[in-house]
Structures are given as C-alpha cells and as structure tokens.
C-alpha cells in the first residue's frame, strides 16, 4: 500500500512541571569585576562627574530653548540618557534601583533610559555610595559609562541615512519619517504573593486581591501613559505645522501600537524634527519610509492560443487566502470563479474602495500571485477544474506597483488583517508579496514586521511573506545583481553579503518568509541562467539571517531565475528572456494586453503564494487546528534539495582523505545554504499526509506555556523497529512553532518576546526517567540508565555544534532540526521537552503558545513503520487517559473527605 494515506498521529504530552533550566544569564564582564574589586573609587568619581556635567548641560539647554522661543511646545520633564552597561545586567535593575525608564535596549550593553529628575539624585546617591560600599549600591559596578555627547545617542536612534544628513537638515525643509516612542514608564507588574503553609484562606484571598488590583493599576497606567505621549507628540507636530499622516480626522491612532511603544509616520519641518529628536526624551527610533521593490518584467509576453478552460468555483466551505497586493483582474477566466468579489477592497488613499483591478503594466502583480495560490506550478489550460480555495483581494499597491508613502505599512497590515479575519470568511491565511528595496535594518524590529508579530499573537492568522528581491541593477544604495558581479562578487557568494539580507518585513519572527529557487540550468541565444543545477538559490532571492541571527527565509519555492550574458561584466535580465527559467503564471491584461498565462516574470513574490497554497491545503485537512500548526507542518515538510544534502553527507560522514581545509569549506557551504534556502523546499504531500514509510505526530490546538514551565512529549518506539539485527536509516524531524507578545524597543531576541520557548530531546540510549529528571525539577524518579549520546542533529542549540555551524535552531519562533540515526540505536521512548523562559514580561499569567510536529521516516523504505508506531502511540494514549481518570477520581475523593 505505498500510495495509501494515513491520518496524523497524536503527539502525547505525558509530563508537566517546572523546567530544569541551565545557566542563569550571561557572564559578568571583566569591566564590572574591575569596577567592583579594583577601581571602585575611580569608577564612582568618573560616573559622578559625568552625571554633574550631563545635568548642567541639560539645564542650560532647556533654559536656552525656552529663552529662544517661549511659545515652543513643552518638553516633558524627563531627559534621555545613553548608558553603557554590563550586557548581562537585567535592565529592570535600572528602573528598580535608579528610577530610570527603559526607553530602548541597544546592542553590546548600550541602553537608552529617561530620568524625570534632571539631577538624577537617586542615581547619584548610589554612585557615591558605591565608593564606600554602602548597601544597595552594588549595581553601579555594572553601569560602565554615562555618555554625555548627543552624537552618541543620535547614532543609535537615527537611520544610517538620516544620521548622514543630520548636519545638513534645513529648518524649513519637509521630511517624512517614522518616529518610535517608548511608553513603558517606571511601573512594573508586582511580584505575585506566595502562600505560606500557615496562611489562612481569608488572609490569602486578601493578598491575592491586593496584588490583582496593583497589577490592574499598572496596566491602566501604561494605557494612560501611551495616550499622554501620543498627545504630546501631536502637540509638537502641530506646532511645527506638520502632520501625523496616519491620523484620520483627529481620531487617536492605534496602528503600530505595541505593549511598550507606538510608531507614527510624520511629515514635519527640519526644525521640528530636530526639536523632537534632540529634546523629546522617549524617542527610540527615527527612520525614513522605505521604498518598495517588486519583480521587474523585462521579457515580452509571447502570443498564446485562447484557453479552452472553464474553472469551477470552490466549495462553499473551502479555505480562503487573502492576497494583499496590487489588486487582481477579477474577471480573468482562470480566476473569476474563485474571487470573493463581495469582499474585494482597495485600501489606497484618495482612491475609491471599489478600484480593485490589477493595473500594473507588464501583466500585473497581484493577478500572478492569486494564480499561483490557485494553480501552483501548472496552470490549467483546458477542462473544468474545480478551484481549491477562495481568493480575497486587498489592494494596497498602485498602478506603478508602489506602496505610497502616505500609507503607514504597520497600520495597513492591521487594518487589512483584522478587516478580513473578522469578516464573513474569518480569513486566517494572508499572502503578502511586498518588500522594501534593501536588506532589513538590524537595530530594532521594524514597526512593519513587529505589527505582523503582534497580529499573529492577537489573532490566529498566518502571514506568508516574500523574502524580497535583489534587482538586476539596483538603485543607490541598493546594489543589484549586476553591481555585485561587477564588484567581483560571484553568484551565489554575493547572496551571503549584508546587502542581500532579507528585506523588510521579511525579518518578522511570526511571518513564514519564503525565498526562491531556480528550476534548472537553461541557455538560449547567448543568455544563460545563474543556477548551476536544479534547485539552486535564485539569483535574486534575498538571504538570511534575519534580525538576531534568526533563520530566514524559513522555506523556499520555485520563483524562477535571472539570466545573464557572458560579457564582463555581464548583462543581467529578469522577466522572460528564457521562458523556461520563469514560473508559469496567470497574467493580467488590464494594463498590457497579452496571453492569459505566460512565463515572463520571476521573483520571490511568486514563490510565496505557492507556500500559501500549502497552508490553505492544511486548513482544508485540519480546519479546527491553529495556524501555528500549519506553519509547523509546512516547515516540517521542507527538505534540502539533493545538492545541499550532499554537502551535509560529507560533513556527517567525512570521506576518506578529507582535509581540515576541505571540511571548513564544507561547513561554510552548509551555513550559506541555510542562509539562502532555510529549511528547504516544502512539499504538499509531506505536509498533509502520512505513508507506510513516513509518520507525523502533531499536537492538538495551541498549547500555552508559562515561563519556567516544561512539557514532555513522548513517542513510544515499538521493539520491532529497534531490533539489533536491523540497521535501517531513520530520519527524525522535529518542528515547533510558537508565538508570544512582542516588545519593539528591545534589541534582543529573548527580551523582544514576553515569553520565549525552546525544545530539547532525549538522547540515544537515554531512558524516559533519566530524561524526565534532566528536564523537570523537583519530581525526581529513579533513573534507569546514563544520559546517552546526543542525536546527530543538523543544527542543534549551539552555533558551534551540529552539521551546520554558525546558526542555532532555537533562535526564532519556528524551530526545526533533523537527524538520521540507525533504527537499532533508537530508544524505547523518544521524548521532547518544550521549555518556557522569561522574556520581557514578569506577569505570572503571561504565556507563549505553541504547536509541534515530529516525523519518523525510514529513508530506504525497507519496512513499513506507520502501523507499528500507530499501535504503540494509541496504547500509550489509553494508558495516559486511564491515569488521568484515576487522578481525577482521587481528587474528588479527597475533596469529599474534606
């Protein structure tokens, strides 16, 4: 029964407890140790002098500003301060000990804080106390420096472009910028009370009530503070006759709002911009809007015969994909039955909401994307195929395929996603093939990407995001492919350059970012494709890692390839110069007459909808499951192509005579492969079905997990699959997908999320009890063996281990690893521990939510494994359910006796 399909098996959680977590923060820096043990008096004196100079300068600045123009808008009492601290310092200590508000965390220990007290009296008291070892002053050793120069702070809040322009900004020149404002204040969630053994019920209830009231007051104060700072920013902008572009009729804005900050797109004079940046203490980022880069269609459309096809509409309950793009040619013969025209809407300003057509010259953009969702690799040209999904049309790009600067991307994302998610079809899958020109900025998560993260946390939605394209010839300062080649950077090496990094908002942790691979090698009329073999990275496909070294793109699909001549430097062309190098796509004829279908465009824009197609198929198969599971199963189904697996094989099992330089070269290749194709090419069949030789286990619904909590999942391996005489290769894939609340002002993966999560597995030869003791605190059971040897995971949790060095599996919110082991080395129980860690939130009720998939596959298909695995897990499920029933009955008896 090789073609038979089987249902997913349940991934059973068998234990839950407090996680046994290693470590406890970073290592104390040598400077902190020297400040504490050697230079105590000198460090105290240096900081004290810096505080005095800083306070005096700001006092003069405020007085001068008021004297120059008494009508200027009032500046809040706070002053912005750039501190350099020990990178291992818990930043909450700055609030707790010195009454500083954390405005933004920077890299390598830099942090911007604000103090309402111009003299910083509390801080100075601790500084002076540190010199004579007064209790409570020890944290001063971890505050290495107070920067008094404005230039140092400006370098950390302005974009590179604005920083270069800063000295030439004219007072009367108009600027459009996105301004990020922090609004956390100095309040925090109080530590929850702990109940003592002798605490009476009434006393405990009073403690819980008091704590709950204080927590509610903190949240209320944060909301009030945000409103207050929005109003203050509005006063500044109004005074300088500027405008907050995404405010409508003076209504308070909500776009871009995150738990710790808000972002506004502002048009303002240079004088007003300088006043805000220099004097408003809670600014953490000022950047210019980014231009949008979309595929160039250089080839001419070839004439094709009229299609004899009459597609049939999807079923009423078919999944829906919302295409956020340039509009769609809704009456197109290949698309019309699937377009949910009643919900189509144009979100462009100064344009009617019904103007939803795809007017992009050269065959359209959104029309091609919609076609790729519906048809995948091969567009139907005859017959009456039933279309599998509904398409919703959200137009945000104009006829030039551009996103107008007057649209604030974060606001647009929230408006569109919530409009369709809360609409009649409760849409959960969105395709967003729109990116900025250049590689994403790494200082903070952008407001655009952070909004995607916030939407995924607030709603059960999955946004499929293109990785972005490198243009054939890029506008300054964004080098194109031809520019890279002219500078001596060959393909595919230039894909590892910083300039080739994934484009905003592809760095979003929650978006499933999609890059592109080429079909094959093609030559025609003096032109040839870039790829040297099938499934190589497309010449235009932007690479990772994303922000905080997260693996991006996670997956790749077929988006075609650029072509080049043999000149030096070569000519480079996108579009349909060699049609076979391009994907087959549905084509719009609204602006440019031509065939209904053609191979005349390339780009990650057209790779992304092929992944959205898989997501929609998963929604059809698992309609009641969370999109976190859809994301996990898509990534779980992805595999490296054959040429990339060959590199891994030579690392895992070095051939005879392999030298150290050769191994280092292979390790470098493996890292670049991860950067360009992530976890590989997903597969619809692998994502949606099991077979005799491949079995996937999944969690059901999304599972909440608190910080410091551990969940153990157990996969029983029957004895017939572990026979000593057998020596079959078994591939094990594990993927976890999780979501938590983001905080944009934190420049650190662990502090960006309210709770962060990772997973670890049992070892070869490690028993269930031994793994339980290794993963969970306080409930030690008798260990029956030694820990065993680590599975040969490809990535692992350390960037110095695994077959791929320089990256880690636990750096993002979708975490995958895979290993190949011999069947006779498998343990009796393969176990996974999912562990919650504290992020920025200290609210004990805060949770992350996750879904997980585990796959076993017999590589050579020598024996069937599905039925034995199914029998074993169903027996375990019965055992677990019986134990839960016994525990429930025991609790009822105890309560009855009481």
Whether the pLDDT of residue 196 is over 80: the answer is: no
Listed in sequence order, the residues at least 6 apart from 212 whose beta carbon sits closer than 8 Å to its beta carbon are none
Give the pLDDT band (50/70/90) at residue 871. very high
Whether the pLDDT of residue 335 is over 80: the answer is: yes
Element (H, E) at 58: helix 40-68
Whether the pLDDT of residue 824 is over 80: the answer is: yes
DSSP sequence for 592-634: S---SEE----SHHHHHHHHHHHHHHHHHHSTTS-HHHHHHHH
Element (H, E) at 96: helix 92-98
Q: Confirm if 453 and 508 have CB atoms less than 8 A apart.
A: yes
Q: Of the candidates 861, 863, 856, which has an alpha carbon nearest to the alpha carbon of residue 725?
A: 863
Listed in sequence order, the residues at least 6 apart from 218 whose beta carbon sits closer than 8 Å to its beta carbon are 187, 188, 189, 190
| H helices, E strands: number in the chain | 20, 33
Q: SS3 for 117?
A: coil
Percentage of the chain with pLDDT > 70? 93
Average of per-residue pLDDT values in the chain: 89
In tens, the pLDDT along 724-739 reads: 888 899 999 999 999 9
Lowest-confidence region among 459-463, 470-474, 598-602: 470-474
Give the pLDDT band (50/70/90) at residue 616. very high
**Phi, psi torsion values for 465, nearest 5 degrees:** -120, 130
Cα–Cα dist 540/546, whole Å: 17
User: What does the pLDDT read at residue 887?
Assistant: 67
In tens, the pLDDT along 148-194 reads: 888 999 999 999 889 999 999 999 999 999 999 998 888 777 777 77
Chain length of the chain: 898
- Give the C-alpha distances (Å, rounded to integers) separating 13 from 1, 17, 256, 463, 827: 31, 11, 37, 28, 18
Bridge partners, residue 776, by sequence = 19
Identify which has the larger pLDDT, 295 or 538.
538
Q: Confirm if 632 and 812 have CB atoms less than 8 A apart.
A: no
Per-residue pLDDT averaged across 744-757, rounded? 85
- Give the C-alpha distances (Å, rounded to integers) separating 291 from 329, 376, 409, 498, 508: 25, 29, 11, 18, 18
User: What does the pLDDT read at residue 255?
Assistant: 39
Whether the pLDDT of residue 299 is over 70: the answer is: no
Q: What is the 8-class DSSP label of residue 258?
A: B
Bridge partners, residue 856, by sequence = 695, 732
Cα–Cα dist 620/389, whole Å: 9
In tens, the pLDDT along 681-740 reads: 999 999 999 999 999 999 998 999 999 999 999 999 999 999 988 889 999 999 999 999
Whether the pLDDT of residue 66 is over 60: the answer is: yes
Give the pLDDT band (50/70/90) at residue 1. very low
Per-residue pLDDT averaged across 123-147, rounded? 92
Please tell me the pTM assigned to this model. 0.91
Cα–Cα dist 750/752, whole Å: 6
Q: Confirm if 270 and 295 have CB atoms less than 8 A apart.
A: no
In tens, the pLDDT along 874-892 reads: 999 998 888 777 766 665 6
In tens, the pLDDT along 478-523 reads: 899 999 999 999 999 999 999 999 999 999 999 999 999 999 999 9
Beta strands at 101-105 and 110-115: parallel, antiparallel or unpaired: antiparallel
User: What does the pLDDT read at residue 153?
Assistant: 93
In tens, the pLDDT along 357-414 reads: 999 999 999 999 999 999 999 999 999 999 999 999 999 999 988 898 888 899 999 9
User: What does the pLDDT read at residue 250?
Assistant: 33
User: What does the pLDDT read at residue 514?
Assistant: 98
Identify which has the larger pLDDT, 779 or 207.
207
Q: Of the candidates 844, 515, 550, 534, which has an alpha carbon nearest to the alpha carbon of residue 680?
A: 515
Per-residue pLDDT averaged across 862-877, rounded? 93
User: What does the pLDDT read at residue 562?
Assistant: 97
Whether the pLDDT of residue 463 is over 90: the answer is: yes
Whether the pLDDT of residue 298 is over 50: the answer is: no
Q: What is the 8-class DSSP label of residue 825?
A: G
- Give the C-alpha distances (Å, rounded to integers) separating 562 from 565, 577, 597: 11, 9, 19
User: What does the pLDDT read at residue 3?
Assistant: 39
Percentage of the chain with pLDDT > 90? 68
In tens, the pLDDT along 544-595 reads: 999 999 999 999 999 999 999 998 889 999 888 999 999 999 999 998 888 9
User: What does the pLDDT read at residue 783?
Assistant: 52
Whether the pLDDT of residue 118 is over 60: the answer is: yes
């Amino acid at each position: 029964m090789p073609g038979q399909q089987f249902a997913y098996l349940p991934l059973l959680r068998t234990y839950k407890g407090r996680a046994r977590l290693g470590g406890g923060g970073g290592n104390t820096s040598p400077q902190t140790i020297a400040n504490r043990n050697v230079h105590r008096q000198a460090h105290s004196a240096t900081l004290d002098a810096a505080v005095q100079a800083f306070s005096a300068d700001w006092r003069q600045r405020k007085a001068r500003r008021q004297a120059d123009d008494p009508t200027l808008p009032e500046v809040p009492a706070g002053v912005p301060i750039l501190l350099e601290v020990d990178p291992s310092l818990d930043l909450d200590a700055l609030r707790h000990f010195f009454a500083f508000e954390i405005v933004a965390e920077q890299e390598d220990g830099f942090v911007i804080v604000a103090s309402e007290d111009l003299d910083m009296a509390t801080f100075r008291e601790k500084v002076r106390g540190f010199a004579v070892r007064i209790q409570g002053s020890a944290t001063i050793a971890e505050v290495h420096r107070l920067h008094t120069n404005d230039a140092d702070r400006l370098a950390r809040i302005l974009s590179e472009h604005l920083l270069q322009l800063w000295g030439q900004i004219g007072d009367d020149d108009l600027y459009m910028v996105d301004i990020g404002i922090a609004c956390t204040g100095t309040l925090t969630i109080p530590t929850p009370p702990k109940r003592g053994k002798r605490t009476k019920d009434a006393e405990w209830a009073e403690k819980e009530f008091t704590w709950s009231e204080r927590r509610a007051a903190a949240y209320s104060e944060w909301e009030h503070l945000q409103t207050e700072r929005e109003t203050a920013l509005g006063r500044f902008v109004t005074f300088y006759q500027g405008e907050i572009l995404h405010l409508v009729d003076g209504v308070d804005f909500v776009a871009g709002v995150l738990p710790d900050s808000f972002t506004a797109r502002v048009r303002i004079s240079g004088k007003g911009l300088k006043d805000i940046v220099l004097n408003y203490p809670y600014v953490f980022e000022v950047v210019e809007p980014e231009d949008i880069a979309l595929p160039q269609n250089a080839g001419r459309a070839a004439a094709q015969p009229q299609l004899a096809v009459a597609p049939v509409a999807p079923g009423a309950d078919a999944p829906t994909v919302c295409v956020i793009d340039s509009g769609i040619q809704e009456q197109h013969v290949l698309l019309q039955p699937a377009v949910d025209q009643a919900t189509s809407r144009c979100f462009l300003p100064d344009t009617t909401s019904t103007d939803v057509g795809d007017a992009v010259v050269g065959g359209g953009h959104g029309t091609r994307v919609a076609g790729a969702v519906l048809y995948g690799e091969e567009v139907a040209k005859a017959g009456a195929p039933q279309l599998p999904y509904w398409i919703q049309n959200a137009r945000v790009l104009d006829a030039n395929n551009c996103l107008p600067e007057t649209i604030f991307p974060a606001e647009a994302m929230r408006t569109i996603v919530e409009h369709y998610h809360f609409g009649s079809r409760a849409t959960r899958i969105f395709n967003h093939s729109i990116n900025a020109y250049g590689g994403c900025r790494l200082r903070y998560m952008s407001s655009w990407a952070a909004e995607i993260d916030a939407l995924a946390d607030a709603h059960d939605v999955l946004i499929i995001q293109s990785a972005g394209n490198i243009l054939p010839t890029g506008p300054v300062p964004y080098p194109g492919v031809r520019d890279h080649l002219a500078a001596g950077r060959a393909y595919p090496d230039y894909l590892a350059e910083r300039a080739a990094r994934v484009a905003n908002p592809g760095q979003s942790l929650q978006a499933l970012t999609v890059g592109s691979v080429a079909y094959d090698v093609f030559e025609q009329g003096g032109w040839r494709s870039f790829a040297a073999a099938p499934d190589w990275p497309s010449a235009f496909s932007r690479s990772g890692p994303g922000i905080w070294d997260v693996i991006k793109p996670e997956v790749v699909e077929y988006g075609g390839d650029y072509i080049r001549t043999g000149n030096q430097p070569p000519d480079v062309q996108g579009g349909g110069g060699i049609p076979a190098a391009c994907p087959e796509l549905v084509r719009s004829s609204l602006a440019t007459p031509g065939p209904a279908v053609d191979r005349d465009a390339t780009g990650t824009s057209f790779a992304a909808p092929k992944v959205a197609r898989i997501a929609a198929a998963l929604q059809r198969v698992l309609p009641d499951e969370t999109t976190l599971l859809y994301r996990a199963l898509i990534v779980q189904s992805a595999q490296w192509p054959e040429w990339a697996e060959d590199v891994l094989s030579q690392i895992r099992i070095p051939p005879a005579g392999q030298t150290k330089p050769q191994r280092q070269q292979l390790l470098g290749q493996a890292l670049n492969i991860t950067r360009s194709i992530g976890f590989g090419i997903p597969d619809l069949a692998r994502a949606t079905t099991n077979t005799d030789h491949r079995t996937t286990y999944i969690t059901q619904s999304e599972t909440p997990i608190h910080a410091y909590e551990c969940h153990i999942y157990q996969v029983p391996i029957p004895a017939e699959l572990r026979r000593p005489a057998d020596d079959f290769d078994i591939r094990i894939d594990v993927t976890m997908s999780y979501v938590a609340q983001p905080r944009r002002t934190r420049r650190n993966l662990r502090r960006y999320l309210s709770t962060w999560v990772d997973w670890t597995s049992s070892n070869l030869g490690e028993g269930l009890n031994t793994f339980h003791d290794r993963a969970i605190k306080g409930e030690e059971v008798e260990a029956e063996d030694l820990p065993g040897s680590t599975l040969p995971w490809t990535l692992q949790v350390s960037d110095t281990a695994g077959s791929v060095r320089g990256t880690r599996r636990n750096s993002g919110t979708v975490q995958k690893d895979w290993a190949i082991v011999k069947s006779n080395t498998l343990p009796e129980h393969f176990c996974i521990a999912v562990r919650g860690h504290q992020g920025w939130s200290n609210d004990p009720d805060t949770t992350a939510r996750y879904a997980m998939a585990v796959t076993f596959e017999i590589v050579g298909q020598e024996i069937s494994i599905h039925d034995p695995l199914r029998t074993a897990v169903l027996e375990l499920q019965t055992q677990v359910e019986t134990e839960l029933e016994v525990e429930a009955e025991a609790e009822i008896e105890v309560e009855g006796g009481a």
